[in-house]
A and B are shown apart, each in its own frame.
Chain A
């Protein structure tokens, strides 16, 4: 049974009055039967933070398919319509999910969870620009966006999520605060352990399969260079030649892959004295586990790869 817009508005208004002082109108204009507010996220980490903090008091939705990179994913019109009906849409910021700029969403329900640290976003260098007309040069990229790989920034994301969840359920402040504290503790523990292992990495030169580790690099002062290699694919000769050029200035011994690499690529790299380790960016859900377990897995991989400090 579909509810009319006015019926839903009345229900939502009564719910917010019962919640004693909610000032935001949580109106689901599409007639969703569920009474839980819906919170949509543009990437998995944000969805994870929302789930950790809100528990089952909200319905958290991250609609991107599991086999795509959410940063590149473009939802179809029906999915955009579902985003429109959400009570909150958690944005990563830093230009993540560029499709946001090309769809219509209610401004009052969009939340840029990186707004608090916008001054700490990392600009992307050496990006090709184009120009036409009187406006001059411009490029289509701006900032690195895998901010959640820095646990300190991940905590900032989580705090922003906490803030907006309070708008939906101010009566749950105590419970949300407790859960946030637990999440922050987990992230700090992770950060501490990553610091330990990065100390062991030291100033070893690293290669990254894609430029998605900027915040991780910065946080742990790693010395890395990014390629544009697809995990699971054998790079072509052009890419190998490019690698040779990079190695001449940056003789690295380790390649950090964002996913399981192609075995041939691994063995050829080993022939060049470069070993491989997998560190998943955790931008999307995995078949098993969650953000924290994936990061723990990443941590263990690094610990295994770097059991001792450099020299």
Chain B
């Protein structure tokens, strides 16, 4: 056997280009359906686990998928906005805990998730260092964010403007990092968490500025009457909330009308969940309530269908590849007729000469399978992250 393998190996090494092409082709044919299955299954597991962990989502009427993707995976596309009163309504119903979400802004590529303290408890997120945000302007970063930006408790991150040209819109807010989360192996690792009120400040719905009643702010006063002071554009607005200026931060109007992208509703029990869902079935309601696991299941069904088409295509291509490889081998045998005759003429046994040819094929197939296995393992390790970022981008 050793001699058979040796001669087969020498042949393959000498004709390395042909060997590489064959191994690559067969590796791809073996890997594609397997790797695709691994990716789809793992991604499905990740997506489903995340969806199953979130019982209900309240959001504006529209695409449930967009609502789920933005709320669970912090996709850049956010749904129509709802009012904060939707969260209050859930609380007041007594049927569920409400966790507000405002996932609209970003700090470079990382999503800024405006939410409440209940979010950490709900997702059982532990702190590697520091603590939850306590005051406006503080944030908590996921483990991957801390690693990618090289930041820790005490450092700061800054929100990114929504557009370059909207000077009166969202402006950068510098946020101090109060805590860094432990790795959770969920999208929470890649997010920056702030109080939902801090997110409103990023949007400009709340702000801090000089006290217009004080003499130092005189240059910022446009008009002053007995009971009202109008400021001009020179009014200094703060882009970081510090201990010195925190008291000046305020919100205008009723917070009930302030925007959210979704509300996570955690029903007290199954019955409460059913009753709560029933309240959103009327046509006149402006919002909807979805079960993320249902939405994700539908998404996965679609992905599965696409996967099946791809696998069918791969099988057809695979058969063609195998046929081509067989043709290459048969042509190669014809070309090697003289070499085989020589071995037989000098006394080589027929079985052994045949074994050498079979061993060549076997080595190629085994190498291909080993490579396909290695690539599948890599796919198992890194694939879901790649796929999720593609799906969510």
Seen from chain A, the residues whose Cβ lies within 8 Å of a Cβ on chain B are: 4-6, 23, 25, 27, 29, 74, 77, 80-81, 84, 101-108, 126, 128-132, 135, 137-138, 140
Known: A81-B131, A129-B228, A130-B231. 18 other contacts (CB 8 A): A6-B124, A23-B269, A25-B121, A27-B121, A77-B135, A84-B132, A101-B197, A102-B197, A103-B134, A104-B133, A106-B116, A107-B91, A108-B118, A128-B213, A128-B229, A129-B227, A130-B228, A131-B228
* Nearest CB on A from B114, distance (A): 11
Provide the residues of chain B in CB contact with A132, threshold 8 Å.
209, 212, 230-232, 235
- Report the Cα distance A6→B124, complex, angstroms: 8
Contact yes or no, A107 B230, CB < 8 A: no
Interface check B23, CB cutoff 8 A: no
Contact of B136 among A23, A81, A103, A137 (CB under 8 A): A103
Contact of A140 among B100, B231, B250, B269 (CB under 8 A): B250
Contact of B134 among A77, A129, A131, A140 (CB under 8 A): A77
Interface check B117, CB cutoff 8 A: yes
Contact yes or no, A104 B132, CB < 8 A: yes
- Report the Cα distance A131→B120, complex, angstroms: 37
Shortest Cβ distance from A74 into B: residue? B247
Contact yes or no, B134 A81, CB < 8 A: yes
Interface check B9, CB cutoff 8 A: no
- Report the Cα distance A74→B228, complex, angstroms: 27
- Against A, the Cβ 8 Å flags (1 = close, 0 = not) of B232-247 are 1001000000000011
Contact yes or no, A102 B249, CB < 8 A: yes
- Report the Cα distance A106→B251, complex, angstroms: 19
- Report the Cα distance A74→B136, complex, angstroms: 13
- Report the Cα distance A74→B244, complex, angstroms: 12
- Report the Cα distance A143→B172, complex, angstroms: 33
Contact of A104 among B134, B213, B229 (CB under 8 A): B134
- Report the Cα distance A107→B115, complex, angstroms: 10
Interface check B195, CB cutoff 8 A: yes
Seen from chain B, the residues whose Cβ lies within 8 Å of a Cβ on chain A are: 87, 91, 97-100, 116-118, 120-121, 124, 126, 131-136, 138, 195, 197, 209, 212-213, 227-232, 235, 246-247, 249-253, 268-269
Sample of 8 A–B contacts (CB below 8 Å): A23-B268, A29-B120, A104-B116, A104-B197, A107-B99, A126-B227, A130-B212, A132-B231
Provide the residues of chain A in CB contact with B231, threshold 8 Å.
130-132
- Report the Cα distance A113→B392, complex, angstroms: 43
* Nearest CB on A from B351, distance (A): 65
Contact yes or no, A104 B117, CB < 8 A: yes
Provide the residues of chain B in CB contact with A128, threshold 8 Å.
213, 227-229
Shortest Cβ distance from B251 into A: residue? A101
Q: Which 5 A-B pairs have the closest CB atoms?
A: A132-B231, A80-B134, A104-B195, A106-B117, A130-B229
Contact yes or no, A29 B136, CB < 8 A: no
* Nearest CB on A from B120, distance (A): 8
* Nearest CB on B from A130, distance (A): 4
- Report the Cα distance A105→B136, complex, angstroms: 11
* Nearest CB on A from B36, distance (A): 36
Contact yes or no, B118 A106, CB < 8 A: yes
* Nearest CB on B from A95, distance (A): 11
Provided the pairs A107-B91, A135-B252 are in contact, do residues A102 and B230 lie with their beta carbons within 8 angstroms?
A: no
- Report the Cα distance A105→B196, complex, angstroms: 11
Contact yes or no, B229 A131, CB < 8 A: yes
Contact yes or no, A102 B136, CB < 8 A: yes
Contact yes or no, B126 A5, CB < 8 A: yes
- Report the Cα distance A130→B207, complex, angstroms: 14
Contact yes or no, A103 B135, CB < 8 A: yes
Provide the residues of chain A in CB contact with B229, threshold 8 Å.
128-131
- Report the Cα distance A3→B251, complex, angstroms: 38
* Nearest CB on B from A99, distance (A): 8
* Nearest CB on A from B281, distance (A): 25
Contact of B253 among A5, A130, A135 (CB under 8 A): A135
Contact yes or no, B253 A80, CB < 8 A: no
Provide the residues of chain A in CB contact with B100, threshold 8 Å.
107
Contact yes or no, B135 A5, CB < 8 A: no
Contact yes or no, A107 B118, CB < 8 A: yes
Contact of A84 among B91, B99, B134, B212 (CB under 8 A): B134
* Nearest CB on B from A98, distance (A): 8
Provide the residues of chain B in CB contact with A84, threshold 8 Å.
117, 132, 134
Provide the residues of chain B in CB contact with A130, threshold 8 Å.
212-213, 228-231
* Nearest CB on B from A8, distance (A): 11
* Nearest CB on B from A46, distance (A): 20
Provide the residues of chain B in CB contact with A135, threshold 8 Å.
252-253
Provide the residues of chain A in CB contact with B250, threshold 8 Å.
101, 140
Shortest Cβ distance from B211 into A: residue? A130
- Report the Cα distance A4→B126, complex, angstroms: 9
- Report the Cα distance A135→B116, complex, angstroms: 26
- Report the Cα distance A140→B211, complex, angstroms: 11
Contact yes or no, B97 A108, CB < 8 A: yes
- Report the Cα distance A81→B116, complex, angstroms: 14
For A4, A27, A126, A132, which residue has the most chain B Cβ atoms within 10 angstroms?
A132
Shortest Cβ distance from B178 into A: residue? A77
For A126, A131, A135, A138, which residue has the most chain B Cβ atoms within 10 angstroms?
A131
- Report the Cα distance A132→B212, complex, angstroms: 10
Contact yes or no, A107 B134, CB < 8 A: no
- Report the Cα distance A43→B192, complex, angstroms: 33
* Nearest CB on A from B362, distance (A): 52
- Report the Cα distance A103→B132, complex, angstroms: 11
